[in-house]
Structure 1
Amino acid sequence: MDAKVVSLQVGKVKNYGSKESKDFISKYWESGSFKEPTQDDIWASKLGLLGDEVADKIHHGGVDKAIFANSYENYPTWAKFLGEESLPFGALAENLTISYLHESSVCIGDIHKIGSAILQVSQPRKPCWKISRKWKNQDFTNEIYISGLTGWYYRVLEEGAISANNEVCVLEQDPQRISILTSNIAYTNPIKYQEILENILKIKSLALSYEASIHKRLNGSANLDYMKL
Protein backbone atom coordinates (compact mmCIF):
# COMPACT_ATOMS: atom_id res chain seq x y z
CA MET A 1 0.00 0.00 0.00
CA ASP A 2 1.14 3.55 -0.76
CA ALA A 3 1.74 5.92 2.14
CA LYS A 4 -0.70 8.80 2.36
CA VAL A 5 -1.88 11.59 4.62
CA VAL A 6 -5.06 10.26 6.24
CA SER A 7 -5.62 13.48 8.16
CA LEU A 8 -4.21 17.02 8.22
CA GLN A 9 -4.40 19.15 11.38
CA VAL A 10 -3.67 22.73 12.40
CA GLY A 11 -4.30 24.52 15.67
CA LYS A 12 -4.03 27.86 17.44
CA VAL A 13 -2.37 28.44 20.82
CA LYS A 14 -4.96 28.53 23.59
CA ASN A 15 -4.97 28.79 27.38
CA TYR A 16 -6.12 25.90 29.54
CA GLY A 17 -6.65 25.25 33.23
CA SER A 18 -6.50 27.62 36.16
CA LYS A 19 -3.65 29.77 37.45
CA GLU A 20 -4.79 28.99 40.98
CA SER A 21 -4.62 25.21 40.57
CA LYS A 22 -1.43 23.31 41.40
CA ASP A 23 -2.28 19.76 40.30
CA PHE A 24 -0.93 18.61 36.95
CA ILE A 25 -4.35 18.04 35.37
CA SER A 26 -5.98 21.41 35.94
CA LYS A 27 -3.19 23.95 36.48
CA TYR A 28 -2.75 26.74 33.93
CA TRP A 29 -0.87 26.07 30.68
CA GLU A 30 -0.67 27.26 27.11
CA SER A 31 -0.60 24.93 24.14
CA GLY A 32 -1.20 24.60 20.43
CA SER A 33 -1.40 20.81 20.73
CA PHE A 34 -5.19 20.63 20.34
CA LYS A 35 -5.19 20.59 16.56
CA GLU A 36 -8.28 20.16 14.41
CA PRO A 37 -8.53 18.18 11.15
CA THR A 38 -9.20 20.14 7.99
CA GLN A 39 -10.10 19.16 4.43
CA ASP A 40 -8.66 22.39 3.05
CA ASP A 41 -5.42 22.68 1.12
CA ILE A 42 -2.92 24.16 3.57
CA TRP A 43 0.21 26.00 2.46
CA ALA A 44 3.44 24.56 3.86
CA SER A 45 5.95 27.39 4.31
CA LYS A 46 9.49 27.15 5.60
CA LEU A 47 8.14 27.79 9.11
CA GLY A 48 5.23 25.37 8.97
CA LEU A 49 1.61 25.08 7.92
CA LEU A 50 -0.36 28.27 7.42
CA GLY A 51 -2.66 28.81 10.40
CA ASP A 52 -0.78 26.45 12.73
CA GLU A 53 0.79 27.72 15.96
CA VAL A 54 3.09 26.48 18.72
CA ALA A 55 3.19 27.92 22.24
CA ASP A 56 6.79 27.13 23.17
CA LYS A 57 8.85 28.58 20.35
CA ILE A 58 12.12 27.65 22.05
CA HIS A 59 11.51 23.91 21.88
CA HIS A 60 8.95 23.69 19.06
CA GLY A 61 8.60 25.17 15.62
CA GLY A 62 11.27 26.75 13.45
CA VAL A 63 12.66 25.57 10.12
CA ASP A 64 13.84 22.18 11.42
CA LYS A 65 10.54 21.46 13.20
CA ALA A 66 8.23 23.05 10.68
CA ILE A 67 5.78 20.14 10.38
CA PHE A 68 5.18 17.29 12.82
CA ALA A 69 4.09 13.90 11.47
CA ASN A 70 2.93 10.74 13.20
CA SER A 71 2.17 7.24 12.01
CA TYR A 72 -1.48 6.23 11.98
CA GLU A 73 -0.29 2.68 12.69
CA ASN A 74 0.54 3.83 16.24
CA TYR A 75 -3.03 4.86 17.04
CA PRO A 76 -4.25 1.45 18.32
CA THR A 77 -1.21 1.26 20.61
CA TRP A 78 -1.90 4.64 22.17
CA ALA A 79 -5.65 4.09 22.38
CA LYS A 80 -5.03 0.92 24.39
CA PHE A 81 -2.49 2.67 26.63
CA LEU A 82 -4.88 5.54 27.35
CA GLY A 83 -7.85 3.25 27.87
CA GLU A 84 -9.76 4.65 24.91
CA GLU A 85 -11.70 2.73 22.26
CA SER A 86 -10.19 4.95 19.59
CA LEU A 87 -8.39 8.27 19.27
CA PRO A 88 -9.31 11.30 17.15
CA PHE A 89 -6.98 12.45 14.40
CA GLY A 90 -4.34 14.78 15.80
CA ALA A 91 -4.30 12.89 19.09
CA LEU A 92 -0.52 13.18 19.30
CA ALA A 93 -0.63 16.89 18.37
CA GLU A 94 0.66 16.05 14.91
CA ASN A 95 0.03 18.07 11.77
CA LEU A 96 0.16 15.05 9.47
CA THR A 97 -1.30 11.66 10.36
CA ILE A 98 0.29 9.30 7.83
CA SER A 99 -0.61 5.72 7.04
CA TYR A 100 1.87 3.09 5.82
CA LEU A 101 4.86 4.99 7.13
CA HIS A 102 6.28 4.23 10.55
CA GLU A 103 9.20 5.16 12.80
CA SER A 104 10.81 1.88 11.79
CA SER A 105 10.75 2.78 8.08
CA VAL A 106 11.19 6.57 8.08
CA CYS A 107 14.85 7.59 8.28
CA ILE A 108 16.48 10.88 9.20
CA GLY A 109 17.35 12.75 6.02
CA ASP A 110 14.72 11.09 3.82
CA ILE A 111 13.00 13.43 1.36
CA HIS A 112 9.25 13.14 0.77
CA LYS A 113 6.92 14.88 -1.64
CA ILE A 114 3.47 15.53 -0.18
CA GLY A 115 1.06 17.48 -2.34
CA SER A 116 3.19 20.10 -4.06
CA ALA A 117 5.55 20.49 -1.07
CA ILE A 118 8.90 18.75 -0.73
CA LEU A 119 9.81 17.89 2.85
CA GLN A 120 12.86 16.38 4.54
CA VAL A 121 12.84 14.32 7.73
CA SER A 122 15.00 16.41 10.05
CA GLN A 123 14.81 14.63 13.42
CA PRO A 124 12.62 12.57 15.74
CA ARG A 125 10.18 14.32 18.00
CA LYS A 126 11.32 14.63 21.61
CA PRO A 127 8.06 14.23 23.55
CA CYS A 128 7.45 16.86 26.21
CA TRP A 129 5.16 17.02 29.23
CA LYS A 130 2.34 18.67 27.31
CA ILE A 131 1.15 15.45 25.70
CA SER A 132 0.68 13.99 29.19
CA ARG A 133 -1.25 17.10 30.20
CA LYS A 134 -3.40 16.92 27.09
CA TRP A 135 -4.44 13.35 27.83
CA LYS A 136 -4.48 13.73 31.63
CA ASN A 137 -2.06 10.83 31.99
CA GLN A 138 1.19 11.43 33.87
CA ASP A 139 2.92 8.44 32.27
CA PHE A 140 2.12 9.14 28.64
CA THR A 141 5.14 11.28 27.75
CA ASN A 142 7.55 8.76 29.22
CA GLU A 143 5.76 5.89 27.48
CA ILE A 144 6.18 7.63 24.13
CA TYR A 145 9.85 8.24 24.93
CA ILE A 146 10.74 4.66 25.88
CA SER A 147 8.68 3.13 23.05
CA GLY A 148 10.46 5.17 20.38
CA LEU A 149 7.12 5.81 18.69
CA THR A 150 7.54 9.56 18.80
CA GLY A 151 6.71 10.67 15.29
CA TRP A 152 9.09 12.84 13.29
CA TYR A 153 9.67 16.40 12.18
CA TYR A 154 9.97 17.72 8.64
CA ARG A 155 11.77 20.76 7.33
CA VAL A 156 10.29 22.27 4.18
CA LEU A 157 12.70 22.17 1.25
CA GLU A 158 10.20 23.48 -1.27
CA GLU A 159 7.03 25.27 -0.18
CA GLY A 160 3.71 24.03 -1.49
CA ALA A 161 0.15 23.00 -0.68
CA ILE A 162 -0.70 19.88 1.35
CA SER A 163 -4.10 18.31 1.90
CA ALA A 164 -5.62 15.21 3.45
CA ASN A 165 -5.43 12.14 1.19
CA ASN A 166 -2.23 13.32 -0.49
CA GLU A 167 0.12 10.46 -1.27
CA VAL A 168 3.56 10.53 0.34
CA CYS A 169 6.16 9.94 -2.36
CA VAL A 170 9.68 9.04 -1.26
CA LEU A 171 12.00 11.04 -3.50
CA GLU A 172 15.31 10.27 -1.81
CA GLN A 173 16.61 8.16 1.06
CA ASP A 174 19.57 9.13 3.21
CA PRO A 175 22.51 6.75 2.71
CA GLN A 176 23.00 6.29 6.46
CA ARG A 177 19.51 4.69 6.69
CA ILE A 178 19.08 5.35 10.41
CA SER A 179 15.40 5.13 11.21
CA ILE A 180 13.52 7.34 13.62
CA LEU A 181 12.92 4.27 15.81
CA THR A 182 16.59 3.27 15.86
CA SER A 183 17.58 6.83 16.70
CA ASN A 184 15.06 7.00 19.55
CA ILE A 185 16.13 3.68 21.05
CA ALA A 186 19.77 4.75 20.90
CA TYR A 187 18.94 8.06 22.55
CA THR A 188 17.40 6.30 25.56
CA ASN A 189 20.62 4.30 26.17
CA PRO A 190 23.68 6.25 24.98
CA ILE A 191 26.16 3.87 26.62
CA LYS A 192 24.83 0.76 24.91
CA TYR A 193 24.20 2.48 21.59
CA GLN A 194 27.10 4.92 21.44
CA GLU A 195 28.10 3.83 17.94
CA ILE A 196 24.60 4.45 16.56
CA LEU A 197 24.51 7.94 18.07
CA GLU A 198 27.93 8.69 16.57
CA ASN A 199 26.67 7.51 13.17
CA ILE A 200 23.62 9.78 13.47
CA LEU A 201 26.02 12.70 13.79
CA LYS A 202 27.33 11.84 10.31
CA ILE A 203 23.98 12.60 8.69
CA LYS A 204 24.57 15.81 6.76
CA SER A 205 20.97 17.03 6.98
CA LEU A 206 20.59 16.41 10.71
CA ALA A 207 18.86 19.27 12.55
CA LEU A 208 21.41 21.32 14.50
CA SER A 209 19.36 21.22 17.69
CA TYR A 210 19.16 17.43 17.57
CA GLU A 211 22.87 17.21 16.80
CA ALA A 212 23.56 19.27 19.92
CA SER A 213 21.29 17.07 22.03
CA ILE A 214 23.10 13.92 20.87
CA HIS A 215 26.46 15.44 21.78
CA LYS A 216 25.07 16.17 25.24
CA ARG A 217 23.64 12.65 25.51
CA LEU A 218 27.04 11.20 24.65
CA ASN A 219 28.93 13.35 27.17
CA GLY A 220 26.35 12.87 29.92
CA SER A 221 25.14 16.46 30.08
CA ALA A 222 21.69 16.05 28.50
CA ASN A 223 18.77 17.48 30.44
CA LEU A 224 15.52 15.51 30.12
CA ASP A 225 13.43 17.87 32.26
CA TYR A 226 11.31 18.81 29.22
CA MET A 227 9.42 15.55 29.83
CA LYS A 228 8.56 16.33 33.45
CA LEU A 229 5.19 17.80 34.43
Structure 2
Amino acid sequence: MKIISTNIGERKEIDWKGKKVATGIFKYPVKHPIFLDVKNVTGDAICDLKYHGGIDQAVYAYSLKHYSYWKNLYPDVDWQFGIFGENLTLDHIDETTTHVGDTFIVGETILEATLQRSPCMKLGIRFNDMKIVKQFWNTSFCGVYFKVLQTGNVNVGSQFTQVKSCPQNPTIADLLQKRKNELGM
Protein backbone atom coordinates (compact mmCIF):
# COMPACT_ATOMS: atom_id res chain seq x y z
CA MET A 1 0.00 0.00 0.00
CA LYS A 2 1.10 3.54 -0.61
CA ILE A 3 -0.27 7.05 -0.29
CA ILE A 4 -1.72 8.44 -3.52
CA SER A 5 -2.89 11.74 -2.02
CA THR A 6 -2.58 13.62 1.27
CA ASN A 7 -5.69 15.70 2.03
CA ILE A 8 -6.62 18.34 4.56
CA GLY A 9 -9.58 20.68 4.95
CA GLU A 10 -10.59 23.89 6.61
CA ARG A 11 -13.57 24.44 8.88
CA LYS A 12 -16.63 25.21 6.80
CA GLU A 13 -20.09 26.23 7.96
CA ILE A 14 -22.98 24.82 5.98
CA ASP A 15 -26.72 25.27 6.17
CA TRP A 16 -28.37 21.99 7.16
CA LYS A 17 -32.16 22.19 7.33
CA GLY A 18 -32.03 25.81 8.44
CA LYS A 19 -29.29 25.24 11.01
CA LYS A 20 -25.60 26.19 10.72
CA VAL A 21 -23.37 23.12 10.99
CA ALA A 22 -19.57 23.20 11.08
CA THR A 23 -17.71 20.50 9.19
CA GLY A 24 -14.22 19.56 8.09
CA ILE A 25 -15.32 17.01 5.47
CA PHE A 26 -14.34 19.26 2.57
CA LYS A 27 -10.77 18.00 2.24
CA TYR A 28 -8.55 18.57 -0.78
CA PRO A 29 -5.14 17.32 -1.86
CA VAL A 30 -2.04 19.19 -0.73
CA LYS A 31 1.36 18.99 -2.35
CA HIS A 32 3.40 19.10 0.86
CA PRO A 33 3.98 16.47 3.56
CA ILE A 34 1.39 16.37 6.31
CA PHE A 35 2.18 15.86 9.99
CA LEU A 36 0.27 13.08 11.72
CA ASP A 37 -0.03 13.99 15.38
CA VAL A 38 -1.40 11.96 18.28
CA LYS A 39 -4.97 13.31 18.04
CA ASN A 40 -5.20 14.71 14.52
CA VAL A 41 -3.52 15.75 11.30
CA THR A 42 -1.86 19.13 11.76
CA GLY A 43 -3.70 21.82 9.81
CA ASP A 44 -6.81 19.71 9.24
CA ALA A 45 -10.10 20.97 10.68
CA ILE A 46 -12.00 18.66 13.01
CA CYS A 47 -15.30 20.21 14.02
CA ASP A 48 -17.07 17.41 15.88
CA LEU A 49 -14.67 15.85 18.37
CA LYS A 50 -17.37 13.46 19.58
CA TYR A 51 -17.16 11.53 16.30
CA HIS A 52 -13.89 12.57 14.66
CA GLY A 53 -10.30 13.03 15.72
CA GLY A 54 -8.88 12.00 19.03
CA ILE A 55 -6.44 9.24 19.78
CA ASP A 56 -8.35 6.39 18.09
CA GLN A 57 -9.45 8.46 15.08
CA ALA A 58 -6.43 10.66 14.46
CA VAL A 59 -6.06 9.78 10.77
CA TYR A 60 -8.64 8.58 8.25
CA ALA A 61 -7.61 6.59 5.16
CA TYR A 62 -9.69 5.58 2.16
CA SER A 63 -8.92 3.30 -0.77
CA LEU A 64 -8.59 4.59 -4.32
CA LYS A 65 -9.99 1.22 -5.46
CA HIS A 66 -13.35 2.15 -3.87
CA TYR A 67 -13.58 5.34 -5.92
CA SER A 68 -14.59 3.48 -9.10
CA TYR A 69 -17.60 1.93 -7.35
CA TRP A 70 -18.84 5.36 -6.25
CA LYS A 71 -18.05 7.05 -9.56
CA ASN A 72 -20.49 4.67 -11.26
CA LEU A 73 -23.22 5.75 -8.84
CA TYR A 74 -22.32 9.46 -8.88
CA PRO A 75 -20.90 10.28 -12.32
CA ASP A 76 -21.73 14.00 -12.04
CA VAL A 77 -19.77 14.61 -8.82
CA ASP A 78 -16.59 16.70 -9.05
CA TRP A 79 -14.24 13.82 -8.19
CA GLN A 80 -11.15 14.85 -6.25
CA PHE A 81 -9.06 12.99 -3.73
CA GLY A 82 -10.30 13.66 -0.21
CA ILE A 83 -13.98 13.65 -1.22
CA PHE A 84 -14.78 11.03 1.43
CA GLY A 85 -13.16 13.22 4.10
CA GLU A 86 -10.04 11.09 4.15
CA ASN A 87 -6.64 12.43 5.12
CA LEU A 88 -4.89 9.71 3.17
CA THR A 89 -6.04 8.30 -0.14
CA LEU A 90 -4.29 4.94 -0.48
CA ASP A 91 -3.81 2.92 -3.65
CA HIS A 92 -5.51 0.06 -1.81
CA ILE A 93 -6.69 -0.82 1.65
CA ASP A 94 -9.17 -3.62 2.23
CA GLU A 95 -11.46 -3.27 5.23
CA THR A 96 -12.34 -6.98 5.04
CA THR A 97 -8.71 -8.01 5.67
CA THR A 98 -7.46 -5.12 7.82
CA HIS A 99 -7.80 -6.03 11.50
CA VAL A 100 -7.99 -3.82 14.56
CA GLY A 101 -4.43 -3.57 15.85
CA ASP A 102 -2.71 -4.12 12.49
CA THR A 103 0.27 -1.78 12.58
CA PHE A 104 2.17 -0.06 9.78
CA ILE A 105 5.28 2.08 9.35
CA VAL A 106 4.38 4.97 7.05
CA GLY A 107 6.90 7.71 6.32
CA GLU A 108 8.16 8.88 9.72
CA THR A 109 5.09 7.48 11.51
CA ILE A 110 3.77 4.28 12.97
CA LEU A 111 0.00 3.81 12.57
CA GLU A 112 -2.36 1.27 14.12
CA ALA A 113 -5.75 0.40 12.58
CA THR A 114 -8.49 1.13 15.13
CA LEU A 115 -11.98 1.80 13.76
CA GLN A 116 -14.35 1.96 10.84
CA ARG A 117 -15.95 5.12 9.57
CA SER A 118 -19.62 5.30 10.40
CA PRO A 119 -21.05 7.76 7.86
CA CYS A 120 -23.29 10.65 8.79
CA MET A 121 -25.21 13.37 6.97
CA LYS A 122 -22.00 15.33 6.33
CA LEU A 123 -20.99 12.76 3.72
CA GLY A 124 -24.34 13.38 2.05
CA ILE A 125 -23.69 17.10 2.15
CA ARG A 126 -20.27 16.60 0.54
CA PHE A 127 -21.90 14.59 -2.28
CA ASN A 128 -24.99 16.82 -2.40
CA ASP A 129 -27.05 13.64 -2.14
CA MET A 130 -28.18 12.03 1.12
CA LYS A 131 -28.64 8.62 -0.56
CA ILE A 132 -24.90 8.04 -0.29
CA VAL A 133 -25.09 7.73 3.50
CA LYS A 134 -27.27 4.60 3.37
CA GLN A 135 -25.34 3.27 0.38
CA PHE A 136 -22.08 3.74 2.30
CA TRP A 137 -23.49 1.77 5.25
CA ASN A 138 -24.45 -1.04 2.85
CA THR A 139 -20.90 -1.65 1.61
CA SER A 140 -17.70 -2.67 3.35
CA PHE A 141 -16.02 0.41 1.79
CA CYS A 142 -15.92 2.38 5.05
CA GLY A 143 -12.25 3.35 5.18
CA VAL A 144 -9.98 2.91 8.17
CA TYR A 145 -9.23 5.14 11.13
CA PHE A 146 -5.74 4.95 12.58
CA LYS A 147 -4.15 5.70 15.92
CA VAL A 148 -0.75 7.41 15.63
CA LEU A 149 1.78 5.46 17.70
CA GLN A 150 4.71 7.53 16.46
CA THR A 151 4.12 11.04 15.11
CA GLY A 152 5.76 12.39 12.00
CA ASN A 153 5.38 13.43 8.38
CA VAL A 154 3.95 11.42 5.52
CA ASN A 155 3.60 12.39 1.89
CA VAL A 156 2.46 11.16 -1.48
CA GLY A 157 4.33 7.97 -2.29
CA SER A 158 4.94 6.97 1.35
CA GLN A 159 4.63 3.20 1.62
CA PHE A 160 2.58 1.36 4.24
CA THR A 161 4.81 -1.42 5.58
CA GLN A 162 2.94 -3.79 7.88
CA VAL A 163 4.93 -4.59 11.02
CA LYS A 164 2.21 -6.24 13.11
CA SER A 165 -0.75 -8.39 12.11
CA CYS A 166 -3.67 -9.12 14.44
CA PRO A 167 -5.83 -11.75 12.69
CA GLN A 168 -7.38 -12.70 16.04
CA ASN A 169 -9.07 -9.27 16.17
CA PRO A 170 -12.16 -8.21 14.21
CA THR A 171 -11.70 -6.66 10.78
CA ILE A 172 -12.65 -3.07 10.12
CA ALA A 173 -15.58 -4.36 8.01
CA ASP A 174 -16.67 -6.48 11.02
CA LEU A 175 -16.79 -3.30 13.13
CA LEU A 176 -18.94 -1.55 10.51
CA GLN A 177 -21.40 -4.46 10.49
CA LYS A 178 -21.50 -4.54 14.30
CA ARG A 179 -22.23 -0.79 14.43
CA LYS A 180 -24.90 -1.18 11.76
CA ASN A 181 -26.54 -3.93 13.84
CA GLU A 182 -26.38 -1.78 16.99
CA LEU A 183 -28.23 0.96 15.11
CA GLY A 184 -30.83 -1.52 13.86
CA MET A 185 -30.02 -0.90 10.23
Match of 2:150 in 1: 158
Residue 109 of structure 1 corresponds to: 101
* Structure 1: gaps (5+ residues): 190-216, 225-229
Q: Which amino acid letter does the alignment assign opposite residue 12 of structure 1?
A: E
Task: Indicate yes or no: 2:127 matched with 1:135.
Answer: yes
Higher relative contact order (CA 8 A, sep 6+): 2
Deviation at 1:84, TM superposition (A): 3.3
With the length of structure 1 as denominator, give the TM-score of the two structures.
0.75
The one-letter code sitting in structure 2 at the alignment partner of 1:98 is L
> Which one of the candidate residues 59, 62, 70 is aligned to 1:67?
59
Instruction: Provide TM-score, normalisation by structure 2.
Output: 0.91
Answer whether contact 2:6 2:33 (CA < 8 A) is retained: no
Cα distance in structure 1, aligned partners of 2:126 and 2:78: 16
Superposition CA RMSD, Å: 2.0
Larger radius of gyration: 1
Question: Aligned with 1:77: secondary structure?
Answer: helix
In 2, the alpha carbon distance for the partners of 1:117 and 1:139 equals 36
- Which residue number corresponds to residue 7 of structure 1? 5
% identical equivalent positions? 25
* Partner of residue 42 from structure 1, selected from 30, 34, 58: 34
Could you say what secondary structure the match of 2:138 adopts?
Answer: helix
Cα deviation digits, residues 142-181 of structure 1 (max 9, x gap): 1111112111100000111111111111111113153222
What does residue 159 of structure 2 align with? 167
Q: Which amino acid aligns with 2:93?
A: L
* Higher share in helix: 1
- Which consecutive residues of structure 2, in runs of 5 or more, have no partner in the other structure? none
Aligned residues: 185
The structure richer in strand per residue is: 2
Distance in 2 of aligned mates of 1:223 and 1:182 = 15
Q: Pick from 78, 87, 92 the counterpart of residue 84 of structure 2.
A: 92
